[in-house]
């Protein structure tokens, strides 16, 4: 993906592209934008979502109007958006269909990556990241908590350099899945799982929803996510657990949200995975 971005003949982008724009978070001051057309308003109304994991979005080329927690931002090439867990944000990009965007989704110990071109996913992949995710989180949280402009500017520069370096080097190590019709179906399945009030779903039910046999669906699922459905569901539960635990829920509430039949089943799962995931 990165290699294609950096080749001028493939993307039309300059070979030396630096991410020198601003960093946008939910607490950033909203932009003054021109009044949205009815078409833009309808598009933004129906093209947003939220999920457990954090994301980074980088504008590689072009521009768009981006909605984040009821704020609108005019984003241009070089801008980086930091999205916390469960923050409502634009899904896709409008109105510049020629723009190029890079998305990085931080799963427990992995980074799921997308390249958006022509307002759809054109490339997707998974990277096992481990300590890199923790390091990014530390800088990210430091940026959000600081209120002094000069300190935030310094941290923003560090974040920009890291993302720039990652896109040029580490990103090339990913396992890539060219996006076709199956890719878009799997993306809808992933969004369906993330939008469930509980994670009580099965491989059979998802295969039926996708219109594939169980065996074929499992094979495509592994290609798209880099893991089996069982491994994926474990990571989703871990991510949702950390979000829910911060609110001090009851055992019954957290068991339901994680898709378990009873608090006892939830406690057994937590004990079994406590050491590996620091639950």
pLDDT digits (tens, 9 = 90+) for 69-87: 889 999 998 888 999 888 8
Q: How far is CA 240 from CA 2, 110, 196, in A?
A: 30, 15, 11
Measured CA to CA, the distance from residue 259 to residue 198 in angstroms comes to 5
Other beta carbons less than 10 A from residue 119's beta carbon = 17
* Residues 67, 132 within the same domain: yes
Q: What is the pLDDT of residue 204?
A: 92
pLDDT beyond 70 at 20 = no
The total of structural domains in the chain comes to: 2
* Residues 123, 193 within the same domain: no
* Residues 72, 125 within the same domain: yes
Which of 222, 39, 187 is CA-nearest to residue 103?
A: 187
Q: How far is CA 212 from CA 186, 196, 204, 227, in A?
A: 11, 21, 9, 18
pLDDT digits (tens, 9 = 90+) for 237-277: 888 888 787 777 888 888 888 888 888 998 999 888 888 77
Q: What is the pLDDT of residue 3?
A: 34
- CATH number for the domain harbouring residue 265: 1.10.10.60
Mean predicted confidence (pLDDT) in 6-31: 60
Residues of the chain above pLDDT 90, percent: 10
Q: What is the pLDDT of residue 236?
A: 84
- Domain extent, residue 130, equals 2-176
Decide: helix, strand or coil at residue 77.
Answer: coil
pLDDT digits (tens, 9 = 90+) for 142-200: 777 877 777 777 777 777 777 776 766 655 555 455 566 777 788 888 888 888 888 88
Measured CA to CA, the distance from residue 224 to residue 204 in angstroms comes to 17
pLDDT digits (tens, 9 = 90+) for 215-226: 999 988 888 777
* Residues 107, 230 within the same domain: no
* Residues 154, 191 within the same domain: no
- Work out the pLDDT band at 17, boundaries 50, 70, 90: very low
Tokens of 199: 């994670």
* Strand ranges inside the chain, DSSP E: 23-24, 48-49, 54-61, 63-68, 71-76, 80-83, 89-90, 100-107, 110-117, 120-128, 175-178
């Amino acid at each position: 993906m990165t290699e294609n971005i950096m080749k001028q003949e493939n993307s039309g982008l300059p070979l030396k592209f630096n991410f020198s724009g601003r960093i946008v978070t939910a607490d950033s001051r909203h932009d003054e934008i021109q009044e949205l057309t009815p078409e833009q308003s309808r598009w933004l109304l129906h093209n947003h979502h939220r999920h457990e994991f954090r994301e980074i979005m980088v504008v590689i080329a072009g521009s768009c109007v981006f909605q984040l927690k009821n704020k609108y931002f005019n984003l241009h090439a070089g801008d980086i958006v930091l999205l916390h867990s469960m923050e409502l944000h634009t899904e896709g990009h409008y109105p510049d269909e020629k723009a190029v965007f890079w998305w990085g989704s931080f799963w427990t110990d992995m980074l799921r990556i997308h390249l958006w071109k022509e307002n759809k996913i054109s490339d997707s992949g998974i990277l096992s990241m481990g300590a890199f995710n923790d390091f990014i989180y530390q800088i990210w949280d430091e940026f959000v908590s600081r209120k002094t402009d000069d300190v935030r500017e310094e941290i923003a520069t560090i974040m920009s350099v890291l993302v720039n370096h990652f896109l040029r080097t580490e990103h090339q190590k990913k396992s890539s899945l060219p996006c076709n019709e199956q890719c878009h179906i799997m993306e809808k399945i992933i969004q369906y799982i993330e939008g469930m009030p509980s994670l009580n779903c099965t491989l059979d039910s998802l295969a039926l929803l996708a219109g594939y046999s169980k065996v074929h669906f499992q094979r495509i699922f592994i290609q798209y996510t880099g893991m089996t459905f069982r491994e994926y569901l474990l990571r989703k539960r871990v991510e949702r657990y950390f979000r829910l635990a911060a609110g001090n829920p009851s055992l019954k509430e957290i068991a339901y949200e994680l898709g378990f039949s009873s608090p006892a089943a939830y406690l057994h799962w937590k004990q079994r995975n406590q050491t590996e995931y620091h639950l």
